[in-house]
Amino acid sequence: MKPIQLISPVDGRVYAERMPLTPEAAEAAVARARAAQKAWAARPLDERIALVKAGVAALNAMKDPVVEELAWQMGRPTRYGGEFGGVNARTEYMAGIAAETLAPKVIEDSAAFRRLLAREALGVVFIVAPWNYPYLTTINTLVPALIAGNSVVLKHASQTLLVGERLAAAFHAAGVPEDVFQNVVLDHATTEGLIRARAFNFVNFTGSVAGGQAMERAAAGTFTPLGLELGGKDPGYVRADANLDAAVDTLMDGAMYNAGQCCCGIERIYVHHTLYDAFVEKAVAWANSLVLGNPFDAATTLGPMANVRFARVVRDQIAEAVAAGAKPLIDPARFADDGGAYLAPQVLVNVNHKMRVMMEESFGPVVGIMPVKDDAEAIALMNDSPYGLTASIWTEDYDTAAAIGAQIETGTIFMNRADYLDPALCWTGCKDTGRGNSLSYLGFHSVTRPKSYHLKKV
């Protein structure tokens, strides 16, 4: 076996490398997780909640090195301070609803019958986490899984190898048993082999469509439940009654934040023709105000993409679109674009749905903008996508947003906001975005199973 290397996008050097576990060592780790799970589930719920919250508090105490490591690993500017706001909010919410959500639902408790529906931990939960929001995406499943009484095995992306180590160190320091939460380094073959061997009771994967397909193939015939969040091509729609400045600021931030490397980032924008010219003008000015540079520089608002190969995909999409008639409105010469991981932002007009940049996930700092004549055209274009994660509608009327949202094939409808996860609402998608859900009370349902009790006295 060869080491897994983490190439830093900041300077192209090998920032970290780890040897993956052998298949035998990986099987032993899962066996320890399974052996430890029953005792963990037998602990009082309040105790599990307290230990999980203490683990997150211990992670917060590591904020300075965590933020620095994130910049080295995947390029996010240090000025944004990591992912602690979302980590803390999601942990607090899920911990707060745990007792009510996991409590048995009593149907009858009489002299003759006691009937109830309980929820029981699944067993061993396997989290395969991505690099773009490496802490947040892990927390989404880790917190409810541990609180519900599961043991957890975490495999992080090679681009963020150190994140799993930080999480494990924090939770172990807080008192979560080492076998109950394990961070492992695995290659693809060993990962798929474990799933194929029914090593886990639930697999949560966040990543590419191809990666999700590999997970499904490995799990075929095992009946192992899968949660798959496979990205998106999320649209924004600006109606004639929209607040133009607010729409530009939020949608462009949704398109460019984290160098566009957001699962629910805005990748295509449809604007009512009466606002189109003004929107485009303001969007170009917004993009030109970004500062592309070293993520450790306090002035930097746009860091490098996480890997040179990710930037190459975006450059290829832009070049193909321009060759097909699209018009780029941003001059890369204004930015410190090095032809590698440091990629200038781009706004494209004269685009259409024959272009890859409007149909395939870009996952970079590029957005295409199209005019539309009415709601019907916008809805048709928003639905003309293989993905369905979120859609952002800009209007001043709740009922209009809800009526349009009801016609869009997606997991979340936003009105006058974008690129945000509300822990009280289910995070889910449809079509090639995947299946399953996290957060909200349904997030606990993903990591537990129902168990019915029908008890009769005679």
456: exposed, middle or buried (Cβ count in 10 Å: 0-12, 13-18, 19+) = exposed
Q: Label residues 236-262 b or e (16+ Cβ within 10 Å = b).
A: bbbbeebeeeebbebbbebbbbbbbbb
Question: Which residue carries 């450790």 as its tokens?
Answer: 296
Phi-psi region of 359 (alpha: psi -120 to 50; beta: other; left: phi over 0): alpha
User: Active-site residue 426, yes or no?
Assistant: no
Distance between CA 257 and CA 345 in Å, rounded?
10
68: exposed, middle or buried (Cβ count in 10 Å: 0-12, 13-18, 19+) = middle
Radius of gyration of the chain (CA): 23
What torsion, rounded to 10 degrees, do the Cα atoms 431, 434, 435, 436 define?
A: -140
Question: Which residue carries 């961070």 as its tokens?
Answer: 183
Task: For residue 134, give the 3-state DSSP assignment.
Answer: helix
Catalytic entry in 69, 83, 262, 263: 263
User: Active-site residue 263, yes or no?
Assistant: yes
Task: Calculate the alpha carbon distances from 99 to 40, 70, 174, 222, 448 in Å.
Answer: 16, 34, 21, 31, 13
Catalytic entry in 83, 229, 267, 361: 229
Distance between CA 358 and CA 364 in Å, rounded?
13
Strands 346-349 and 327-328, by their bridges, are: antiparallel
HEC letters along 65-102: HHHHHHHHHHCCCHHHCCCHHHHHHHHHHHHHHHHHHH
Which residues are the active-site residues? 229, 263
